[in-house]
Amino acid sequence: MATTSNGNSKKRDGGLSSLAPRKINVQKFSEARAAELESLHSIVSERLNKDFRSKRNKRRRTNSYNNQPAKKRYIQRQKSESLIGQVSGGGDHETKITRRVKRRMELKGNPQSGFCTSGDGTKRLRTHVWHAKRFTMTKLWGFHLPLGLHGRGRGSRDVLKQSRQGVLLHDASYHIAVQLEGPEGSLLSILNMLLEPSPSSHSKEVFDSILTGRSYENAMLYHLEPPVSQAIAPVTYMWRPSQIPKRRDEEKGGDGIGTDRPVSDRDYVDFRKLWVWIHASSFTEGYAILKVACQKQMNETGVSVDCFSLEGQLAKLEIFGPKASHLLQKTLHPAPSSSEDTSISKMCSMEKAEVKNVADPYKEENVSSGAILAQFVIDPRLILNSPRDDSTVSFETTKTEPTESLETTTNTEAETFPEVFNCLWDANRELNPPEEENMLCWEKHQSRLDSLCLDDPAADVPKVSSRLRSSRSCPLLLLKHKKLGNAPTGWSLILPVSWIKVFWNALVSKGAHAIGQREKRWVSCDDGLPFFPSDFPDCKAYSSFTLSEAADLEEKAQRRPPAIRPFRIPIPPPWNSIHVTRSIGESSNQKLTSNGTNGVEISSSGGNLFDGIVARTSDSLTTFLQTFTSDNLLLLPHNTSKTNLMKKLQEDDKKVRAQIHQSSKKLCLVRVLLHAFKEGSFEEGAVVCAPTLADISLLKSSCGEGEEGRVTMPQSSVSSYFQEQPSGSWELNVSEDTLTEQSHRWPIGFVTTGFVRGSKKPAAEAFCDAVLLGRLRDEQWRDKDVKRRKKQIYVLVRNLRSCAFRLALATIVLELQDSCDVHCF
């Protein structure tokens, strides 16, 4: 470039004197540059020999826009939707739709209530499509449920890590609610008739909290006259919030709490509503007994009590983990009470203001255990999270005061959110489903075009279904899980079934880890809580569930060659074989570890069916021991401390060890936690046996190396320990061989849930006979200093396909918890 003597650059001739034009007319531009374009075209044509077709070795992505299979699928989908539209519109001619297209449209839809079903009538959850893509599905209790992640059933370490550090999410929509309506006195009489512990057995403070609807309660549902009658399932019951009425006995000075006497309608005159949540495996049985109890109450008092199912109307999501409260804070944002649904979407789509939550309303210290919170929340799809702060909500709303605590009365919540109770508790009222996804996407697209000052003349309002109304705010109830032992903090969300997909996708996208039935059982065992129905042997659901598992295992075994086929084991365990141990202990002067049978007939006479009760409260255990036995056992049904127990033993040692009389043949089991003393891994179905004092001293002192430091039985006796009868039942077999008889150990219980890999402190859950545990404790404490007596009981555990007995410490759960073991995970 030429420069002047001053060093300044000269401008080119015809330089730019103004900015470039914003728009270019293509036709005028081509006419002005026609000569240049023609010369460029001639050069390119000469190089390509006038063949402008793309070469085959360079056609990898040049024709991706012309995808013929995708076009065909799109055309078929459009035809299917048009056919379904004609069918729904009530056309005159009959239109045939393929099963695949019909199923896709059913799963894509979101009706207000009910579940879509498969060809055999099995119901699908609203999250079925999400689970079916990621989990192994199985048919259980009339539902297609996610069993667990694909594979051989491993992955427990990652799940337990998530439960200790993250958030776990489970779709519990297979729990069904039954609503009872009637006078408060009649409803209380029905609950006292069927539940254990009954509402009247709680303290006055807890009773008032439950009755006013501020908290919920867990109980065991029985047939009439619990706990001696047949158990059905663990349930959760909750009352519709209301003020607590004054009773006549309170006016006279008494509190009226703590007795199980019938409550008449003259004591309570308020009309109340009550929910009882029942597991799907026992819903038919539980619903039937509730209707029978309502009919019985009506026959006795003449007052009608309505009982009906809410299946397909309400759903439940379970969230647990240390970060569950933080996840709820990011997902649930209360809807302004003065705004309508149409204005909420506008406020949520605008990014003019950021309102930060001053306090976390879901922290453990802000909400009491077992509390119920009612909220009206905004559709989580409308919430725009700030990229810099996840706890901010980008919508314009009115200024709210900081939340100090949510331990307020339910009456205040009912005044603040009256529609929550009117929507959820009114069974005849239709709940509006959420807005369809295509409408929200269209509105979001339009808002983005408006923010860029662009117009889209071809944009039309998307097609939506023919539903009358839709909503952009959802009523829901939050149930705070009770803190039990090492169990993680958890919440249960009760909301309309049509809103399940919306909140499920929102929670998963914000970091929740979804789990199925198998993973949920791992977490419950790691926390020391029972899992229904696997840890409830006194329920019919347990028998049907274990029998179906046995059929599946037998089918898998039959596929293997006979040479490598494992021998059969009893599933479910032969619980009535424990009767043999009882009879042996009674005939040998209370010594359980006697090797001889002493003429006692070896017969369990009952097969695999469970005949007895499971004591889940200290009151039921005391009632059984006083009603069916005359034993004075060293059990702690009232959660007595170790110091008080030792003091009692020193004062009245002779009385405690009095002669044990003949007891009833009815079994009374208690749930225990088994921890391996030195080594061993306990599997589901393992047998718990009574050890001798020599076994305990040998296994405690030995290093576990070699046959001399182990307690074993002959390998030939492993498969014949339980023998299958022609009727299909299993009975305990005691060989007359001297060596086998010396190595035989008598069963006192069975393991229902084995060790979980990855647990920091592995524990197995088992059920053992209370009478036999008391005798073992008495034998192990005898001739031992009071200060050296342990609260745990030494037992032997043997896996059914193993010949080695492992020493374990058994802890009775009733001695750890507050006189109650009815909580189910």
Residues 6 or more apart whose CB falls under 8 angstroms from that of 344 comprise 335, 336, 378, 379, 382, 472, 473
Distance CA 613, CA 769 (A): 10
Q: For 659-663, which contacts have Cβ atoms below 8 Å and span 24 or more sequence positions? A: 659/590, 660/586, 660/590, 660/630, 660/631, 660/632, 660/775, 661/629, 661/630, 661/631, 662/586, 662/630, 663/582, 663/586, 663/628, 663/629, 663/630, 663/631, 663/771
For range 17-35, the mean pLDDT: 77
Distance CA 161, CA 321 (A): 10
Q: Which residue has the higher pLDDT, 648 or 57?
A: 57
For range 768-794, the mean pLDDT: 87
For range 172-177, the mean pLDDT: 95
pLDDT at 709 over 90: no
Residues 6 or more apart whose CB falls under 8 angstroms from that of 683 comprise 751, 754, 755, 799, 800
Report the pLDDT value the prediction gives residue 71, as an integer from 0 to 100.
76
In this predicted structure, which of 205-214, 282-291, 459-468, 779-788 has the lowest mean pLDDT? 459-468
For range 143-163, the mean pLDDT: 90
Distance CA 633, CA 778 (A): 8
Nearest residue to 217 (alpha-carbon basis) of 200, 242, 193: 200
pLDDT at 296 over 70: yes
Burial class (CB in 10 A: 0-12, 13-18, 19+), 607: buried
Main-chain phi, psi angles of 83, to 5 degrees: -65, -40
Best-predicted range by mean pLDDT among 335-339, 377-381, 705-709?
A: 377-381
Distance CA 84, CA 305 (A): 43
Distance CA 656, CA 642 (A): 16
Confidence of residue 591 (pLDDT cuts 50, 70, 90): low
Distance CA 150, CA 427 (A): 39
Give just the sign of the alpha carbon dihedral 109, 479, 429, 438: negative
Residues 6 or more apart whose CB falls under 8 angstroms from that of 733 comprise 602, 720, 721, 722, 723
In this predicted structure, which of 72-86, 396-410, 696-710, 714-728 has the lowest mean pLDDT? 396-410
Do residues 445 and 459 touch, judged by C-beta distance below 8 A? yes
| Residue 787: alpha-carbon gap to chain centroid | 42
pLDDT digits (tens, 9 = 90+) for 28-79: 888 889 999 999 999 999 888 888 877 766 666 555 556 677 777 777 777 7
Residues of the chain with pLDDT > 90, as a percent, come to 34
The three state secondary structure string of 39-100 is HHHHHHHHHCCCCCCCCHHHCCCCCCCCCHHHHHHHHHHHHHHHHHHHHHCCCCCCCCCCHH
**Coil/strand/helix, residue 645:** helix
Output the six-digit token pair for 563: 């040479």
Strand partners, 182: 272
Nearest residue to 141 (alpha-carbon basis) of 38, 233, 42: 233
For range 598-605, the mean pLDDT: 43
Give just the sign of the alpha carbon dihedral 570, 576, 581, 583: negative
For range 561-572, the mean pLDDT: 90
Pairing of strands 355-356, 231-239: unpaired
Report the pLDDT value the prediction gives residue 452, as an integer from 0 to 100.
76
Q: For 547-556, which contacts have Cβ atoms below 8 Å and span 24 or more sequence positions? A: 547/571, 547/572
Q: Which residue has the higher pLDDT, 735 or 542?
A: 542
| Cis upstream peptide for 574 (omega within 30°) | no
| Residue 636: alpha-carbon gap to chain centroid | 31
For range 394-405, the mean pLDDT: 36
The dihedral region occupied by 596, where left means phi > 0, alpha psi between -120 and 50, and beta the remainder, is: beta
| Cis upstream peptide for 226 (omega within 30°) | no
For range 424-450, the mean pLDDT: 81
Report the pLDDT value the prediction gives residue 606, as an integer from 0 to 100.
45
Do residues 140 and 124 touch, judged by C-beta distance below 8 A? no
Query: Which residue matches tokens 């009425």?
Result: 245
In this predicted structure, which of 80-84, 253-257, 417-421 has the lowest mean pLDDT? 253-257
H or E stretch covering 345? helix 341-349
Report the pLDDT value the prediction gives residue 579, as an integer from 0 to 100.
85
Do residues 442 and 462 touch, judged by C-beta distance below 8 A? yes
In this predicted structure, which of 117-131, 342-356, 418-432, 627-641 has the lowest mean pLDDT? 342-356
Nearest residue to 326 (alpha-carbon basis) of 192, 569, 507, 575: 507
Q: What class does CATH assign to 142-173+313-336+362-382+416-425+470-525? A: alpha beta
Q: Which residue has the higher pLDDT, 505 or 392?
A: 505
pLDDT at 524 over 60: yes
Confidence of residue 225 (pLDDT cuts 50, 70, 90): low
Report the pLDDT value the prediction gives residue 414, as an integer from 0 to 100.
43
Confidence of residue 337 (pLDDT cuts 50, 70, 90): low
Mean pLDDT, the chain, integer: 77
**Count of other CB atoms within 10 angstroms of residue 254:** 11
In this predicted structure, which of 127-131, 268-272, 499-503 has the lowest mean pLDDT? 268-272
For range 292-309, the mean pLDDT: 91
Residues 6 or more apart whose CB falls under 8 angstroms from that of 490 comprise 318, 319, 320, 321, 324, 480, 481
For range 473-478, the mean pLDDT: 90
For range 365-386, the mean pLDDT: 82
Confidence of residue 242 (pLDDT cuts 50, 70, 90): confident
Residue count of the chain = 825
The pTM for the full model equals 0.79
Do residues 746 and 603 touch, judged by C-beta distance below 8 A? no
Report the pLDDT value the prediction gives residue 109, as an integer from 0 to 100.
80
Do residues 467 and 88 touch, judged by C-beta distance below 8 A? no
Distance CA 322, CA 364 (A): 10
Report the pLDDT value the prediction gives residue 106, as an integer from 0 to 100.
79
Output the six-digit token pair for 750: 């069975």
Superfamily of 176-243+270-309 according to CATH = Aminomethyltransferase beta-barrel domains (3.30.70.1400)
In this predicted structure, which of 104-118, 235-249, 794-808 has the lowest mean pLDDT? 235-249
**Coil/strand/helix, residue 178:** strand
pLDDT at 520 over 50: yes
Best-predicted range by mean pLDDT among 197-206, 255-264, 783-792?
A: 197-206
pLDDT at 137 over 90: yes
In this predicted structure, which of 2-6, 109-113, 704-708, 796-800 has the lowest mean pLDDT? 2-6
Burial class (CB in 10 A: 0-12, 13-18, 19+), 250: middle
pLDDT digits (tens, 9 = 90+) for 659-668: 323 334 678 8
pLDDT at 633 over 90: no
Do residues 615 and 633 touch, judged by C-beta distance below 8 A? no
Confidence of residue 131 (pLDDT cuts 50, 70, 90): very high
Domain boundaries for CATH 3.30.70.1400 within the chain: 176-243+270-309
For range 609-623, the mean pLDDT: 80
Distance CA 736, CA 738 (A): 6
Report the pLDDT value the prediction gives residue 336, as an integer from 0 to 100.
76
Domain boundaries for CATH 3.30.1360.120 within the chain: 142-173+313-336+362-382+416-425+470-525
pLDDT digits (tens, 9 = 90+) for 302-326: 888 999 999 999 999 999 999 998 9
Nearest residue to 135 (alpha-carbon basis) of 166, 169, 160, 176: 169
Nearest residue to 805 (alpha-carbon basis) of 699, 685, 672, 671: 699
**Coil/strand/helix, residue 618:** helix
pLDDT at 729 over 60: yes
pLDDT at 271 over 80: yes
pLDDT at 243 over 60: no
Distance CA 268, CA 252 (A): 15
Residues 6 or more apart whose CB falls under 8 angstroms from that of 710 comprise 699, 702, 704, 804, 805
Q: For the chain, percent helix, then strand, then coil, each to nearest 5?
A: 35, 20, 45
Confidence of residue 658 (pLDDT cuts 50, 70, 90): very low
Residues 6 or more apart whose CB falls under 8 angstroms from that of 227 comprise 196, 220, 613, 615, 616, 617, 620, 623, 624
For range 608-618, the mean pLDDT: 78
Report the pLDDT value the prediction gives residue 438, as an integer from 0 to 100.
82
pLDDT at 617 over 50: yes
